[in-house]
Amino acid sequence: MGTDPRSLSTKTLDVLAAFSTTRPRLMLSEMSRVSGLSLTTTHRIAQDLVGWGALERRSDGGYQVGLRLWEIASLAPRGLPLREVALPAMEDLYEATHENVQLAVREGFEVVYVERLTGRGAVRVLTRVGGRFALHSTGVGLVLLAHSPDDVQEQILQGPLRRWTPWTITDPQLLRGVLADIRQTGVAISDRQVTEDALSVACPIHARGEEVVAALSVVVHADGGTTPQALAPAVRAATRGISRTLGSEAARRRPAVRRVR
């Protein structure tokens, strides 16, 4: 058997990456199998991670992610700080709709959800805070893809584009046109593209220099009687308020919009 070319740092990250939403708790043998490392190496790394606080040892001998790792992750500038700035506007948007309100950023070719507010009667969604999703189907994903660098857009458009429902856009030329419309209107609409009962309306969040750093959406019942045209002004008002706080000069020049109630 050849020598594993991975560095110790990479091996440590591979051990941490073995954990997921479907694998929140792992035994040592499972960590070894998923990470592709020997039991001896996995055990040594796991012990170091437990000592540092990145992993916690359970009474049954298994492991789970530790709070120390969460503390470090919360320092990511596109995570907790962005969430704290956006939360007041998100709360207003939630009070107006009592549906899912989602804040997301782009990481490579995926959406990462930073925060989500939801109610008992809100429509079912497939996303979670800290979770990832494809860019081409959700409202926030379409916004972030529309404002991504050209090379990112081209790689996504070259596919394959996964289909979740009969309404998911999987035709590259059609998607290209949708992205152009989003850049022009400032609003993305994802109608039943992820689940057949959900409709999402999303708008971009700008920072200093007018860079699009995040996207905000409200996800409602597709058959609930609320049209995208009715939702768009509230979502746009929320993102403008967040953008002003983040230093967007364009957002500052626009007239102040009363908070949604």
Q: Is the pLDDT of residue 257 over 60?
A: no
10-35: b or e for each residue (b if 16 or more CB lie within 10 Å)?
A: ebbebbbebbeeeeeebeeebbbebb
The domain 80-253 is classified under which CATH number: 3.40.50.11290, 2.170.190.11, 3.30.1490.190, 3.30.450.40?
Answer: 3.30.450.40
For 175, how many CA atoms within 13 A lie in the half-sphere containing its CB?
28
What's the confidence (pLDDT) of residue 76? 66
Omega of the bond prior to 172 within 30 degrees of 0, cis?
no
Separation of alpha carbons 41 and 224, rounded Å: 54
> pTM for this one?
0.71
- The neighbour count for residue 87, using CB atoms within 10 Å, is 15
Written out in words, the top-level CATH class of the domain with range 8-72 is mainly alpha
What confidence tens digit (pLDDT) does each residue in 150-201 have? 999 999 999 899 999 999 999 999 999 999 999 999 999 999 999 998 999 9
Report which residue type is found at 177: G
CA distance 41 to 113: 33
> Residue 81 belongs to what H/E stretch?
helix 80-97
**Per-residue pLDDT band at 255 (split at 50, 70, 90):** very low
Residue-wise pLDDT for 18-56, tens only, equals 988 788 899 999 999 999 999 999 999 999 999 999 999
Q: Please, where in the chain does CATH 3.30.450.40 lie?
A: 80-253
Confidence band (pLDDT; 50, 70, 90) for 78? low
Does 80 score more than 60 pLDDT? no
Quote the pLDDT of residue 258.
36
Give the residue range(s) of CATH 1.10.10.10 domains in the chain: 8-72
